[in-house]
Amino acid sequence: MAHHEVLPDILHAGPVIRAVRQYEEFAGSWTVNPWAHGDPKLASVLAYGGAHSAFSTVMNTIDDHATVTTVFAARMLLEEAARFTFLTQDLHDEDGFVQRSTQYFDEFRVKKKNAIAAFAGNGVALTAATRLLETPDHVVDGPETITKGRQPLPSIDKMLLLMGKPYPEPGWLPVAYSLLSQVTHSTPVGIVHMTRYREGVLSAHDISPEMLSLALDVACLGSARLLGISGLLLSQGSNEAQQYATGLERRAYKVHDTARLVHGLD
């Protein structure tokens, strides 16, 4: 790769990182006890714990040569937030939520069934394959029956469009997801954004300001959605959880307002 093939660094991610640090501080300012109201739903616990873990990965990899991990974790947060948004947004009654939940969890029941069948069809004993995907004894399993004529989940693009409704350009989230995917799949576009020249020396895995700003932007938006909704579910809609969810969204939007000046989306 020649020097002229690398994007020039005419922008700087410093202001974005400072805004993200403020978001990070607030994100760690409140925690919920998942067992305060009895045994919680596994999906809510996984969303809450997974969001904290993935966002921590983002923040612990932006200052070294592991920024490709930053992009992976940010993309994962955005994807999971889109699914959780689909599960909970634009519902008008309890029946609608039940139907949406059935559709949501049917998807994962099908994946589990297919995985067991794939193992069993490739030399793994059926009992061993089933045991691989069993949950621990302390986890209360939900229904295993898959709805007849089930409706598959929408594509990730459609769920991202739903999540992007409040923005001036709702379509920016599918574009953001696609750009992050360029890095995770090591396409030529992704490689260009992960390669820099420093004083004439080629440096691999050194992220461009545009891609870093985009990754940090969606990491905040995704974790805010996951932590906010799961916190509300686990605390049964407590006042603290409502204030926390609102505060997360407000600070994530502040990051977005700063980051969009660098990555150019929305």
Ordered DSSP codes for 167-216: SSSTTHHHHHHHHHHHHHTT-HHHHHHTEEEETTEEEET---HHHHHHHH
Q: Which of 44, 45, 67, 47 is nearest to 57 (CA)?
A: 67
What gap in Å lies between CA 143 and CA 202, rounded to an integer?
54
pLDDT at 196: 77
What gap in Å lies between CA 266 and CA 257, rounded to an integer?
9
What gap in Å lies between CA 105 and CA 145, rounded to an integer?
10
pLDDT at 138: 77
Taking only Cα atoms into account, the Rg of the chain, rounded to an integer number of angstroms, comes to 20
Q: Which of 49, 47, 67 is nearest to 58 (CA)?
A: 67
Instruction: Judge contact between 30 and 170, C-beta under 8 A.
Output: no
pLDDT at 8: 61
* Neighbour tally for 102: CB within 10 Å: 16
Domain positions in the chain: 3-92+154-263
Which residues, including other chains, have CB under 8 Å from residue 254's CB and lie 6 or more apart?
A: 19, 22, 23
Instruction: Judge contact between 51 and 227, C-beta under 8 A.
Output: yes
Which residues, including other chains, have CB under 8 Å from residue 104's CB and lie 6 or more apart?
A: 83, 86, 87, 153
If phi over 0 gives left and psi between -120 and 50 gives alpha, with beta otherwise, what is residue 90?
Answer: left
Instruction: Judge contact between 167 and 176, C-beta under 8 A.
Output: no
- pTM listed for this prediction: 0.88
Assigned token pair, 95 = 């029946």
Assigned token pair, 78 = 């955005």
Instruction: Judge contact between 163 and 81, C-beta under 8 A.
Output: yes
Instruction: Judge contact between 77 and 218, C-beta under 8 A.
Output: yes
Residues 38-67 pLDDT 10s: 888 888 999 999 999 999 999 999 886 788
Residues 75-117 pLDDT 10s: 999 999 999 999 887 777 778 888 888 888 899 899 999 999 9
What gap in Å lies between CA 94 and CA 102, rounded to an integer?
12
Q: Which residues of 60-69 are buried (b: 16+ CB within 10 A; e: fewer)?
A: ebbeeeebbb
- What 95-100 contacts at long range (C-beta under 8 Å, 24+ apart), as own/partner pairs, is none
Tokens 């990491």 belong to residue: 219
pLDDT at 202: 76
Low-confidence stretches of the chain (pLDDT < 70) are 1-10, 64
